[in-house]
């Protein structure tokens, strides 16, 4: 069995994937047409050309245009169902999905309660019909929120505890928007029982990760790859085994690294850091989680054991209940063994 067949068939968990960034291009065109929203492209080929990003601000501009095509709760339910079908097809049994409700509210006026209800209809359908699970990390774009709005988003996230929401996040452009600005919102969310899951160390260096650890008490770090520039930070992350949600193709597309072969992932592994692999915004970066695994196999020649560790790392770093995690870990190991036997 070729290693890529093994990688596509193995069970996986994904911790860093954005719901709005996962909209199928075909669906995006349908939503734009339905709501009479003008996009710079009106064909699949046009969208592919539109998705050629020059830098992070350019990416964010396109992301907001995509979000503006979500206008009614049924749109949210549709994109969530399609997302879950795609995850199931990749043997991804659990996904922790980032969602930015304030942006959707500002673009459409849909109340958070109604946004969450739409996602939960799809989430419960996915559990019943597809046999896979998802939870939500409610996040905000740091360059687009005031302090008052950040507290509102924290309250929204808290209201979803026990109803699909498990984490509180922070995305967007790091330069000029340090994590310390959002300490009050994260303190409120953490006190209520939400996990702190900020992006850091993507468009800015180690100081953003330090701030996320010290001020936001991050439980996992979204991206985190720029830690490689700071030996003290590497030691901190290694000693505490803080999971990094690494998104290799995203890093190439947004110019964090020039090419996949230049990615710091092998160095992060050699340093003993806790690594998970993720797709971030799959269609926007022309990738999937399966593609990420296969591209890494081709670029770096990683062994099957390393990919099994990536999958187990993601499972163990998930916010699933302990008994569910333990049950899935046993299932993963049995499936790995079965695939290995087929491979031989």
Length of the chain measured in residues: 344
List 202, 245, 292, 308, catalytic entry: 202
Residue 56 domain-assigned? no
- Quickly list DSSP for 19-65: SGGG--HHHHHHHHHHTT---S--SHHHHHHHT--SSHHHHHHHHHH
Can you give the residue range of the structural domain that contains 203? 3-24+73-343
Q: Are residues 146 and 177 in contact, defined by beta-carbon separation less than 8 angstroms?
A: no
Residue 182 domain-assigned? yes
Query: pLDDT at position 216, please?
Result: 99
Residue 45 domain-assigned? no
Residue 41 domain-assigned? no
Scan for tokens 């720029």, then name that residue. 226
**Rounded to a whole number, what is the largest CA-CA distance in the chain?**
58
Note the pLDDT tens digit of each residue in 13-33. Answer: 999 999 999 999 999 999 999
Note the pLDDT tens digit of each residue in 71-110. Answer: 999 999 999 999 999 999 999 999 999 999 999 999 999 9
Residue 237 domain-assigned? yes
Which two tokens mark 10?
A: 């193995």
Query: pLDDT at position 52, please?
Result: 87
Note the pLDDT tens digit of each residue in 118-152. Answer: 999 999 999 999 999 999 999 999 999 999 999 99
Q: Which residues lie closer than 8 Å to 332 by C-beta, 6 or more apart?
A: 11, 308, 311, 312, 315
Tell me the pLDDT band of 174, cut-offs 50, 70 and 90.
very high
Residue 33 domain-assigned? no
**What CATH number is given to the structural domain containing 14?**
3.20.20.140
Residue 245 designated active-site: no
Residue 42 domain-assigned? no
Q: Where are the beta strands (DSSP E) in 63-130?
A: 92-99
Residue 252 domain-assigned? yes
Distance from CA of residue 282 to its chain's centroid? Answer: 10
DSSP code of residue 279: -
Tell me the pLDDT band of 212, cut-offs 50, 70 and 90.
very high
Instruction: Provide long-range contacts, Cβ within 8 A and 24+ apart, for 77-82.
Output: 77/118, 77/119, 77/121, 77/122, 78/27, 79/19, 79/20, 79/22, 79/23, 79/24, 79/27, 80/19, 80/118, 80/119, 80/122, 80/123, 80/126, 81/122, 81/125, 81/126, 82/23, 82/24, 82/27
Domain count, the chain: 1
Query: pLDDT at position 47, please?
Result: 86
Which two tokens mark 45?
A: 């080929």
Indicate whether this model's pTM tops 0.85.
yes
pLDDT at 343 over 80: no
Query: pLDDT at position 19, please?
Result: 98
Note the pLDDT tens digit of each residue in 181-199. Answer: 999 999 999 999 999 999 9
Q: Which of 17-21, 47-51, 323-327 has the lowest mean pLDDT?
A: 47-51
């Amino acid at each position: 069995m070729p290693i890529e067949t093994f990688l596509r068939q193995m069970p996986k968990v994904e911790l860093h994937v954005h719901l709005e960034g996962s909209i199928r291009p075909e669906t995006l065109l349908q939503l734009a047409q339905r709501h009479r929203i003008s996009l710079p492209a009106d064909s699949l080929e046009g969208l592919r050309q539109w998705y050629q990003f020059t830098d992070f601000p350019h990416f964010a501009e396109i992301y907001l245009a995509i979000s503006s095509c979500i206008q009614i709760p049924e749109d949210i339910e549709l994109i969530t169902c399609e997302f879950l079908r795609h995850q199931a097809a990749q043997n991804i049994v659990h996904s922790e999905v980032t969602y930015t409700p304030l942006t959707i509210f500002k673009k459409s006026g849909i109340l958070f309660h109604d946004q969450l209800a739409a996602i939960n209809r799809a989430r419960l359908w996915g559990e019943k019909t597809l046999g896979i699970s998802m939870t939500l990390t409610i996040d905000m774009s740091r360059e687009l929120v005031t302090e008052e709005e950040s507290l509102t988003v924290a309250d929204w996230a808290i209201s979803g505890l026990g109803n699909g929401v498990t984490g509180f996040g922070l995305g967007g452009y790091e330069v000029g928007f340090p994590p310390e600005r959002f300490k009050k919102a994260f303190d409120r969310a953490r006190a209520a029982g939400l996990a702190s899951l900020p992006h850091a160390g993507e468009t800015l260096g180690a100081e953003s990760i330090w701030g996320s650890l010290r001020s936001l008490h991050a439980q996992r770090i979204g991206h985190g790859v720029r830690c490689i520039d700071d030996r003290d930070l590497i030691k901190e992350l290694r000693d505490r085994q803080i999971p990094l949600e690494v998104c290799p193709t995203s890093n190439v597309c947004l110019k964090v690294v020039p090419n996949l072969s230049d990615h710091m992932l092998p160095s992060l592994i050699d340093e003993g850091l806790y690594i998970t692999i993720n797709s971030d915004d799959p269609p926007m970066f022309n990738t999937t989680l399966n593609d990420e695994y296969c591209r890494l196999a081709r670029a770096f020649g990683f062994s099957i054991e390393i990919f099994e560790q990536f999958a187990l790392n993601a499972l163990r770093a998930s916010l699933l209940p302990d008994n569910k995690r333990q049950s899935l870990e046993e299932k993963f190991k049995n499936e790995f063994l079965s695939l290995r036997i087929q491979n031989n």
